[in-house]
Amino acid sequence: MIEFKNVSKTYNNRDFVLKNVDLHIDDGEFVFIVGPSGSGKTTLTKLLLREEKVSEGRIVINGFRLDKMRSGKVPYLRREMGVVFQDFRLFPKKTVYENVAFAMQVIGAPHSSIKKRVPFFLDQVGLADKMKSFPTQLSGGEQQRVALARALVNNPEIIIADEPTGNIDPQMSIEIMELLVKLNEKLGKTVIVVTHEQNLVDRYRKRVITIKDGEILNDRIGGMFDE
Ligand SMILES: Nc1ncnc2c1ncn2[C@@H]1O[C@H](COP(=O)(O)OP(=O)(O)OP(=O)(O)O)[C@@H](O)[C@H]1O
Ligand SMILES: [Mg+2]
């Protein structure tokens, strides 16, 4: 469970980029977060990861109180989450395989499990034939899919994807979305997708939270379906 209570965030003690955000996301929910550029979407994901601290208010995720959390505890919080960053954050000197494997190595996963899971997830995102490539040898969309494989490989309960389809062609975008939907529906993962692609949101009847100027403008079920 994810809970924001009266959360505000400023980077400079002057301009608030999130203002009094109240938000509750249950285990197993699928949520889109949409809104214009600069509205605070990525900031919100950074607060979830405790990459940034709240300026005011309270965040609770699966019993972790983020606004009170000591830095030493942050790795335990992050183990519950798999994240696709808007800027991918791949290691340039590691191959595709090594980038994904590294996420498992840092949590001490056994070699046998790494050997099985890394190829499986790279195959899931359509990159089985790119395992030995380096990030610079990949297209933007391919890099994004490596980031997605890395986010999934440790079987996190919460998956956060910041513009996971931003650099991907429409057909591949749909495949990536179908993968996220499947993880939600079949495995009960909580999935949070940040996007500004309205047409992607419209394909699904899911909860859509719209942020504008740091505030929740509305929170409703989306989709272009007739009632
Ligand atoms: N580290 C930072 N220091 C100062 N200001 C920041 C920082 N990160 C973000 N901001 C500001 O906070 C506001 C919200 O940024 P954020 O990245 O959360 O927007 P976003 O909704 O993700 O936009 P986009 O759709 O373009 O990714 C912007 O005005 C941005 O300039
Ligand atoms: Mg952003």
pLDDT in tens, 132-172: 999 999 988 899 899 999 999 999 999 999 988 877 888 88
Tell me if 222 sits within 8 A of 204, measured CB to CB: yes
- CA 135 to CA 32: how far, in whole Å? 28
Average the pLDDT over 49-56 and give the result: 96
Q: What is the pLDDT of residues 211-225, one digit of tens each?
A: 999 999 999 998 765
Q: Answer whether 61's CB lies under 8 Å from 24's CB.
A: no
Mean pLDDT of 121-129: 94
- Give the tokens for residue 137: 């040898």
Q: Are 4 and 12 in contact (CB under 8 A)?
A: no
Strands 81-84 and 158-162: parallel
The pTM of this model reads 0.93
Mean pLDDT of 26-30: 97
> Which protein residues have their CB within 5 A of the ion that is ligand 2?
41-42, 86
pLDDT at res. 153: 96
C-alpha 208 to ligand 2 mean position (Å): 16
CA-CA distances (angstroms) from residue 33 to 3, 39, 115, 178? Answer: 15, 11, 34, 17
| Mean confidence (pLDDT) of the chain | 93
In this structure, the residues whose C-beta lies within 6 A of any atom of ligand 1 are 11, 17, 35, 37-43, 86, 196
pLDDT at 63: 93
What is the CA(19)–ligand 2 centre distance, in A? 17
> Among residues 196, 202, 213, 214, which one has the least CA distance to residue 33?
196
pLDDT-based confidence at residue 227 (cuts at 50, 70, 90): very low
Q: Which residue's CA is the closest to the ligand 1 atom numbered 26?
A: 37
Q: In the predicted model, is pLDDT for residue 113 greater than 90?
A: yes
pLDDT tens for each residue of 84-100:
988 889 999 999 999 99
pLDDT score of 210 more than 60: yes
Mean pLDDT to the nearest integer, 190-199: 91
Say whether pLDDT at 130 is over 90.
yes
**Contacting residues for 17 by C-beta, under 8 A, at least 6 apart:** 9, 10, 11, 40, 43, 214
- pLDDT at position 59 over 60: yes
Q: Mean of the pLDDT values across residues 105-133?
A: 96
Nearest CA to ligand 1 atom 7: 11
Least confident of 149-158, 167-176, 183-192, 195-204: 167-176
Strand 190-194 and strand 30-34: the pairing is: parallel
Of 7, 17, 215, the residue with max ligand 1 atoms within 8 A of its CB, to mutate for a pocket test, comes to: 17
